[in-house]
Amino acid sequence: MKRLAGWARAEWGPLYVAVRGPLARRRWRAVPLTLAAVCLTSLAQIVQNQSWGYEPVQDVGAVRAEDPLWLALSRTPLSLFVPALDLPVWGALVQILLVFGLAELCLGRPRTLLVAYTATLAGTLYARVGPALGPDGPFGLPASDALVVDTGPSAAVVGLAVFLGWRFRAYATAAAVIVAMTVEVLLKNNLAGREHLAAIAATAVLYAWLRRRDRADGAAGRRPGGGPRRRGLRASGKATDPEPAPARQSPPGPQPPGPEQPDGGRGSADRRRHPRSPDRHPHPRSPDRSAHFRSPD
């Protein structure tokens, strides 16, 4: 039992520490993105089950491989929150609440959205490539899959789960997710399973790139004279350190009073202008005239 507890502490301890602080301080206010995603998914589920709401939801969030690319890309952001009709909606809500919540607490909202949409976009693009390759190839799909409606948060959830496992060294958890998705494809070779593998591959590339960039930023921050780079705000792909301001040069002439010049720094200048000033150069002492009045020996 102690060994199991030690393994769990080593596997999920860093993730628990990252989650505990923000959640204890702000409670539910720490996950506004997750709550918005849950509410939007619930709303889409309610609307699409109405007689008048199915077509509007499909028009804004349904993605098919047979659709033009620009139309598929424009629908991809909302397709993440449209639950699949053949799956229970509570499963999608639990996935969003758990995985999106952990990611928002540990990674922040910008990076959570970046990982989620990278994984979703990878699945969307693969759904167009797979049928083109044909069912005979190892990465191909039958042509009928081009008509399948591709919606739901599953690809984003898989990508975020794997990213969190790698980021917080929960390698066994990340490996379990990858193995489960692989077994799914082996048992049921469908579009959803292949999209999950494509999402994992895209997440791996994104993780490697972000890790390399973070290391470069850290090295720049430790370099002498090099301040930390601003992340996510680079216009040209490279961050440049600001040039140091030129050193101020003292103007010629009298200097303002300083602690080392009690007389205001004007002594040398006054001496040059008034070399015979009586207060600084007294006249030579007159010869001793007492010698003229010496008493005779």
* pLDDT tens digits in sequence order for the chain, 297 residues long: 778 888 888 888 888 888 887 888 888 888 899 999 999 999 999 999 888 888 899 888 888 888 888 998 999 889 989 988 778 888 889 989 999 999 998 888 999 999 999 999 999 999 888 888 877 777 888 888 888 888 888 999 999 999 999 998 889 999 999 999 999 888 888 888 889 999 999 999 999 998 888 787 776 666 555 554 544 434 333 444 444 555 555 555 555 555 544 444 444 444 455 455 444 445 455 445 444 444 444
Q: Where are the beta strands (DSSP E) in the chain?
A: none
* Domains along the sequence of the chain with CATH: 12-218 (1.20.1540.10)
Q: What is the DSSP string of 16-61?
A: HHHHHHHHHHHGGGG-HHHHHHHHHHHHHHHHHTSTTTHHHHHHHH
**pLDDT for the residue 232:** 43
**pLDDT for the residue 249:** 56
**pLDDT for the residue 239:** 40
**pLDDT for the residue 241:** 44
**Distance between CA atoms of 83 and 65, rounded to whole angstroms?**
18
**Distance between CA atoms of 209 and 194, rounded to whole angstroms?**
23
- Residue count of the chain, please give it: 297
Rg, the chain, Cα only: 37
**Distance between CA atoms of 95 and 103, rounded to whole angstroms?**
12
How many Cα atoms are found within 13 Å in the side-chain-facing hemisphere of 128?
Answer: 15
**pLDDT for the residue 27:** 84
Q: Which SS3 state, helix, strand or coil, does residue 67 take?
A: coil
Would you call 25 exposed, middle or buried from its count of C-beta atoms within 10 A (0-12, 13-18, 19+)?
Answer: exposed
Question: Phi, psi at residue 60, to the nearest 5°?
Answer: -105, -15
Cα 214-216-219 angle, rounded to 5 deg: 110
**pLDDT for the residue 234:** 40
Residue labelled with tokens 């998914």: 41
- Provide the 8-state DSSP code for 62: -
